[in-house]
């Protein structure tokens, strides 16, 4: 299924963002201070979290690793460089992928990295019966697209028999109704609404959950820190995103803060293996 007009608009926004972020020393400096990385990241994955994910996925030389929605290379390229795994990075926004390609070259890891423009709901790789990936990861990607189940189906199709998947995702806190639900939906990522809990979706798509952790507190802290730095550097923020883009992003940040202040958002990390 091709992306809807709404998804396409978001992909275009991401593409511009990756181009802007990766060219601004000030924004990269903020990212270093807040998340411990400088790839032009758009998820809330910090360096500590990326290191933890690398350990859970047992990344190392010879391990075939796939990152879906890899943006401009965070954290896939970082993990490839740190662990020596063989990485495939896929995403749709071209600017992000070009920045990732340049970064892989600068870091001297191009030989171990494949960067492919592809839809996570239609992966251009053979199924796990033909080898597949030993480790699959996506950071805050399912809340940025509609076809969540299709992505999990595709991950299941391309994972090796002994493989693992880890992902983080932002969702609406359970039990919210009416105005509170709307506040959460408006404050979260564009496609935060999900037809079911991710645990159920994983079961339906042939996965067994091995761990589920709530990292809302860490997300809230990272968000506040990032927002504070952005406000303190508003001139650069506006230069980078343009006046209209900056105003839109700042309005979104305020909505997110409102939702987080009321505990209306959740960020979780799931680990799963192929069922049975
Ligand atoms: C929150 S960003 C995370 C990007 C990057 N991994 C990072 O941590 O900075 C979510 C990513 O999901 C990607 N995405 C959205 N829809 C997608 C799709 N259908 N297939 C693959 N990636 C998609 C977006 O383009 C975006 O780069």
Q: What is the pLDDT of residues 108-155, one digit of tens each?
A: 999 999 999 999 999 999 987 778 999 999 999 999 999 999 999 999
Q: Which atom of ligand 1 is nearest to the CA of 7?
A: 16
pTM recorded for the entire structure: 0.97
Q: What is the pLDDT of residue 276?
A: 80
High-pLDDT (> 70) share of the chain, %: 100
Q: What is the pLDDT of residue 26?
A: 97
CA of 144 to the centre of ligand 1 (A): 7
d(CA 90, CA 108): 19
Q: What's the pLDDT band for 11 if we cut at 50, 70, 90?
A: very high
Q: Which of 25-34, 159-168, 217-226, 239-248 has the lowest mean pLDDT?
A: 239-248
What 3-state DSSP class applies to 64? strand
100 C-beta closer than 6 A to ligand 1: no
Q: Which atom of ligand 1 is nearest to the CA of 41?
A: 9
d(CA 244, CA 42): 19
155 C-beta closer than 6 A to ligand 1: no
Domain map (residue ranges) of the chain: 5-274
Query: Residues 103, 107, 110, 116: is their CA dihedral positive or negative?
Result: negative
Q: Length of the chain in residues, anyone?
A: 276
Q: What is the pLDDT of residues 46-101, one digit of tens each?
A: 999 999 999 999 999 999 999 999 999 999 999 999 999 999 999 999 999 999 99
To the nearest whole number, what is the mean pLDDT of the chain? 96
Q: What is the pLDDT of residue 2?
A: 80
Q: Which CATH class is domain 5-274?
A: alpha beta
d(CA 207, CA 24): 40
Which pairs from 100-103 meet CB under 8 Å and 24+ separation?
100/39, 100/70, 100/71, 100/72, 100/73, 100/76, 103/22, 103/39, 103/72, 103/73, 103/77
The CA distances from residue 220 to 21, 45, 49, 97, 127, in Å, are 21, 12, 14, 28, 37
Q: How much is the average pLDDT of 31-38?
A: 98
Q: What is the pLDDT of residue 132?
A: 94
Q: What is the pLDDT of residue 234?
A: 97
11 C-beta closer than 6 A to ligand 1: yes
40 C-beta closer than 6 A to ligand 1: no
Protein residue with its CA nearest to atom 24 in ligand 1: 69
113 C-beta closer than 6 A to ligand 1: no
High-pLDDT (> 90) share of the chain, %: 95
């Amino acid at each position: 299924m091709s992306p809807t007009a709404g998804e396409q608009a978001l992909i275009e926004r991401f593409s511009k963002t990756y181009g802007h972020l990766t060219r601004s020393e000030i924004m990269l400096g903020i990212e270093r201070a807040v998340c411990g990385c400088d790839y032009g990241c758009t998820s809330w994955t910090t360096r500590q979290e990326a290191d933890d994910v690398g350990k859970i996925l047992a990344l190392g030389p010879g391990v075939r690793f796939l990152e879906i929605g890899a943006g401009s290379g965070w954290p896939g390229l970082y993990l490839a460089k740190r662990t020596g795994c063989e990485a495939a990075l896929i995403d749709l926004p071209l600017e992000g992928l070009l920045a990732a390609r340049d970064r892989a070259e600068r870091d001297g890891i191009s030989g171990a990295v494949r960067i492919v423009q592809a839809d996570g709901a239609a992966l251009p790789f053979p199924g796990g019966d033909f080898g597949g990936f030993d480790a699959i990861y996506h950071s805050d990607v399912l809340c940025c697209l509609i076809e969540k189940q299709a992505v999990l189906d595709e991950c299941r199709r391309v994972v090796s028999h002994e493989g693992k998947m880890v992902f983080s995702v932002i969702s609406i806190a359970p039990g919210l109704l009416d105005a509170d639900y709307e506040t959460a939906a408006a404050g979260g990522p564009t496609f935060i609404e999900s037809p079911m809990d991710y645990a159920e979706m994983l079961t339906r798509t042939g996965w067994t959950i091995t761990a589920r952790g709530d990292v809302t507190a860490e997300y809230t802290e990272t968000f506040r820190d990032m927002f504070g730095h952005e406000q303190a550097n508003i001139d650069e923020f506006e230069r980078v995103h343009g006046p209209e883009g900056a105003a839109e992003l700042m309005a979104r940040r305020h909505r997110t803060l409102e939702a987080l202040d009321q505990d209306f958002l959740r960020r979780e990390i799931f680990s799963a293996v192929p069922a049975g």
